[in-house]
Homo-oligomer: A and B are copies of this chain.
Amino acid sequence: MRDFSGDHAALSINTATVRKQAKLDAIVEVCARRDIRMICPWRDQVQAVGLAAIAGQLRDTGIALSGYCRGGFFPAADAAGLATALEDNRRAVDEAKTLASPCLVLVVGALPGALTGKAAYKDIELARTQVFDGIAATLEYARKAGMPLAIEPLHPMQAAERACVNTLEQALDICDALDPERSGALGVAVDVYHVWWDPKLAAQIARAGRQRLLAFHVCDWLLPTRDLLNDRGMMGDGIIELRKIRGFMEGAGYGGAAEVEIFSEDWWARPLDDVIATCIERHRSVV
């Protein structure tokens, strides 16, 4: 296993972690100053500054992407909605390409409308079929663009609203169906927050292997967890066995970034530079 204690060369900051403190260009500036070599920005953060401006800033600072958040949200109540989602995913692929991202992360979506409190339908199998079809269509486009797609299984507590792909096994079944040759065009993003509880975690990470392990996200599960979305903890503050799971990843051939992705009112309330400093410290001490 790699030794992270001496430096933070493998650290990436998912910029949602500090999305309430500053715009993306200011975040990149702080990261550059702290010698952080990778980030994973969200589309809305890029748009708020401008795609070309961010692409330029990344080139200037030498900061690379560990991923781009996010494509997905494929299910819809009607054909027009499904088509709109596909179009939006093609744009996400193009943006990821402009930013030289190694992959586009997919939060696949779930019951359409659920996120705003009113599901258009309850049939989760239908949502899963729409997700499968959406990934298949987007993969065709992404292959041509040379942009790998990383399916991110989300925690089952987000199955109604955000993603109806909820285990690594389920995500890998989709990969096997759509990319049986393991070309590298389709894989998974392993976020410890979403998968730490899974009794099949070690086996499924091993099954994924190097070709399919496109991203690794870290944070922690707090006791108690007070909110289903925005109460992720800083690494070391909860009960996730971070080093053990990183061991599973590296044992399967993963050698990429450890990307910090925290959604937390607590951490959003702290100064940007302090949060980044803490990420660096915890990356070295507990990841």
Stretch at the interface among A42-50, A114-122, A263-271: A114-122
The CA of A225 and the CA of B6, in the complex, are separated in Å by: 42
Contacts of A164 in B (CB 8 A): 197
The CA of A46 and the CA of B51, in the complex, are separated in Å by: 64
The CA of A167 and the CA of B119, in the complex, are separated in Å by: 25
Query: Interface majority SS on A: helix, strand, loop or mixed?
Result: loop
Is A170 located at the chain interface by the 8 A CB criterion?
yes
| Residue from B161, B197, B223 in contact with A223 in the complex, judged by beta carbons closer than 8 Å | B161
Contacts of A117 in B (CB 8 A): 223-224
Q: Which of A161-177 contact B (CB under 8 A)?
A: 161, 164, 166-167, 170
Is A198 located at the chain interface by the 8 A CB criterion?
yes
Are B159 and A197 in contact (CB-based, < 8 A)? yes
Are A241 and B156 in contact (CB-based, < 8 A)? no
The CA of A199 and the CA of B126, in the complex, are separated in Å by: 12
Q: Which of A223-261 contact B (CB under 8 A)?
A: 223-226, 228, 239-241
Is A155 located at the chain interface by the 8 A CB criterion?
yes
One digit per residue, 1 when the CB lies within 8 angstroms of any chain B CB and 0 when it does not, for chain A 83-125 equals 0000000000000000000000000000100100111001110
Contacts of A159 in B (CB 8 A): 196-197
The CA of A221 and the CA of B70, in the complex, are separated in Å by: 26
The CA of A224 and the CA of B228, in the complex, are separated in Å by: 9
